[in-house]
Amino acid sequence: MEFNNGLERKRLEERWEKLRKEYAAAGMDEAGIQKMYEYDLAQYKRERVFCFHNQYYPEVLFESDACPEDKSTLLDRYLDKLSVYMPDNPDESRYGWIQDIENEKLFHYLHNLPMESLELITMLTEGLSQKDIAKVMGISEQAVSKRIKVLRKNIKTLL
């Protein structure tokens, strides 16, 4: 399932230009309109995450009486590994801040980082010192510093 982030975001913004005018004309205050927009934006982000993690398979593949020719043996074998559990609200997870990244290249880079690197960036954004991060991760401060330097270099090449 493909998701064209730029096109879908443009459609969302165009729809909301019209909705803002309609809601304002109906007498709704700006704070209420903004809350509704933020809800729709959160729904949009959830859909983007869903499409990023899922691939369309025809339903016939999952039916027990499907023809053997229609059924993928790889799908049968790896269905549990291909399935992804997504929390109801991905923004509430520890790494939900990634969903707010609008730069598509940076979003994909961060999304594909190993969990250890993602945790390092998250701890930095939470304001932990390199010394504290080193204690939590069980590595030396120099190792933390080197990892940060590599991450910064990689991110700079994307921007």
Domain limits, the chain = 1-93, 94-159
Render each residue's pLDDT in the chain as its tens digit; 159 residues.
467 888 888 999 999 999 999 999 999 999 999 999 999 999 998 888 887 777 666 555 555 555 555 556 666 677 667 666 555 554 456 777 787 888 888 888 888 888 899 899 989 888 899 999 999 889 999 999 999 999 999 988 887
Token pair 């401060």 is at which residue?
141
For 94-159, the fitting CATH number among 1.20.120, 1.10.1060, 2.40.50, 1.10.10 is 1.10.10
Q: What is the pTM of this model?
A: 0.45
Q: How far is CA 120 from CA 39, 101, 146, in A?
A: 29, 17, 12
Straight-line distance from the first to the last Cα atom of the chain, in angstroms, rounded to the nearest whole number: 27
Which DSSP category does 59 fall into? Answer: G
Which DSSP category does 97 fall into? Answer: G
Question: Among candidates 108, 124, 2, which has minimal Cα distance to 51?
Answer: 2
What is the Cα–Cα distance from 50 to 41, expressed in whole angstroms?
14
C-beta of residue 122 within 8 angstroms of C-beta of residue 95: yes
C-beta of residue 98 within 8 angstroms of C-beta of residue 110: yes
Which DSSP category does 128 fall into? Answer: -
pLDDT of residue 141: 92
Q: Can you tell me whether residue 83 is helix, strand or coil?
A: coil
The DSSP line for 2-25 is ---HHHHHHHHHHHHHHHHHHHHH
Question: Among candidates 134, 106, 103, 100, which has minimal Cα distance to 120?
Answer: 134
27's CB contacts (< 8 A; 6+ apart) are: none
